[in-house]
Amino acid sequence: MRNPFTRLIAVLAGGLVLSSLALAQQLGETKTKAAPPAPSHDLTGIWEFFTQLPGQGIYATPSKQAPPMTPWAQERFAAMRPGYGPRITTDSNDPILRCDPVGIPRALFYPQPFEIVPTPDRVFMFFERDHLYRPIWLNRRDHPQDLSPMWVGDSVGWWEKDTFVVDTVGFNDRSWLDFYGYPHSEEMHLVERYQRTDLNTLKLNFTVEDPKAFTKPWVSDTKIYKLLPKNKAFLEELFCVPEEEEAFGNRFRKPGIGGESK
């Protein structure tokens, strides 16, 4: 290996291998086991969105590139001060800091588990965050007329081969669409497509159509959820309690911003 260029390539390749090994070790990937196949048309279980999972989509937003916003959305976006992402600030006005419900679709890529419970006429999703739940109706395809604006909207679901499709409208415009402060309007139409690719793995791709906020549909990357094993399969009582938020804010957030600490 006398050619310096060949040696350079060899060293770079070695670096890549070492890097992959280090990454795999860090992610606990070295002991990956083959999971049993998925049961048919059954999403039952407690699932969690682990941000560090290999192949996981971006944390905190549907995909890296948001579609162009309308002037209505641009104005809202400019006023939002997120605690995450490229515009991160300590002085956030994220509505969840005042205990507004996290809402859908943001709850879907929150790093906290949710439980899926199917019943004959509905599939329920129970989220640890906020103790939020949403019913997904199986016995109708249409949404009621004149829906009151909701944090989770009105959802209907059906199976298309191995994919569970959820169609939701009827949202309010008070929740942020994601952690970065992107807005949505009451016109938001959300379509989620879930595939259970093995016993332990659930994958979601979703599309946000909101012509009042975005000039094109926002197609997500693939979000991956893992089935929690028995010893971790529980949801804690995670209500957002204003008194607890205030106490935490006084001890940590306000000093971190530079405000007064009680």
Partner 1 sequence: MNHRGTIAFLLALGILLISRPVVAHHGTSAFYEMNHPITMKGTVTEFAWSNPHVQIFFDVKDDQGNVVRWGCETLSPGRLARSGWSKSALKPGDQITVTVSPSKRGLPLGALRKIVLANGKELGLQEMPEY
Which three-class secondary structure state does DSSP give residue 92?
coil
Side-chain-side CA neighbours of 112 within 13 Å: the count stands at 17
* Beta-carbon contacts of residue 11 (< 8 Å; ≥ 6 apart): none
221: its two tokens: 């990357």
96: its two tokens: 């969840």
Residue range at the interface with partner 1 (CB under 8 A); choices 1-9, 141-149, 153-161, 187-195: 1-9
Q: What are residue 30's phi and psi, to 5 degrees?
A: -65, -20
Buried b (16+ CB within 10 A) or exposed e, 38-59: beeeebebbbbbbeebeebbbb
How many other β-carbons are positioned within 10 Å of the β-carbon of residue 63?
17
Which C-beta is closer to partner 1: that of 111 or that of 211? 111
Question: Contact, 61 vs 180, CB < 8 A?
Answer: yes
CA separation for the pair 114, 252 (Å, rounded): 28
Member of 35, 39, 44, 159 binding partner 1 (CB under 8 A): 35
> Among residue numbers 123 through 162, which ones bind partner 1 (CB under 8 A)?
128
Which C-beta is closer to partner 1: that of 196 or that of 226? 226
Which C-beta is closer to partner 1: that of 120 or that of 258? 258
Q: How far is the CB of 164 from partner 1 (least distance, A)?
A: 21
Residue range at the interface with partner 1 (CB under 8 A); choices 11-19, 145-153, 186-194, 207-215: 11-19
Q: Is 38 in the site for partner 1 (CB under 8 A)?
A: no
> Among residue numbers 176 through 215, which ones bind partner 1 (CB under 8 A)?
179, 200-201
Q: Is 37 in the site for partner 1 (CB under 8 A)?
A: no
Q: Is 259 in the site for partner 1 (CB under 8 A)?
A: no
Q: Is 98 in the site for partner 1 (CB under 8 A)?
A: no
Which C-beta is closer to partner 1: that of 133 or that of 252? 252
The β-bridge relationship of strands 201-209 and 218-219 is antiparallel
Enclosing H/E stretch for 235: none
DSSP secondary structure string, 97-122? GGT----TTGGGGSSS-EEEEE-SSE
- Taking residues 60 to 79 in sequence order and writing x for each that binds partner 1 by CB under 8 A, - otherwise, the string is x-------------------
214: closest CA among 69, 4, 105, 36?
A: 69
Member of 25, 32, 120, 210 binding partner 1 (CB under 8 A): 32
Q: Is 26 in the site for partner 1 (CB under 8 A)?
A: yes
Q: Is 228 in the site for partner 1 (CB under 8 A)?
A: yes
Footprint of partner 1 on this chain (CB under 8 A)? 4, 7-8, 11-12, 14-16, 18-20, 22-23, 26-28, 31-33, 35, 48, 50-53, 59-60, 82-84, 88-90, 92, 111-113, 128, 179, 200-201, 226, 228-229, 232, 234-236, 238-241, 244-245, 247-248, 251-253, 255-256, 258
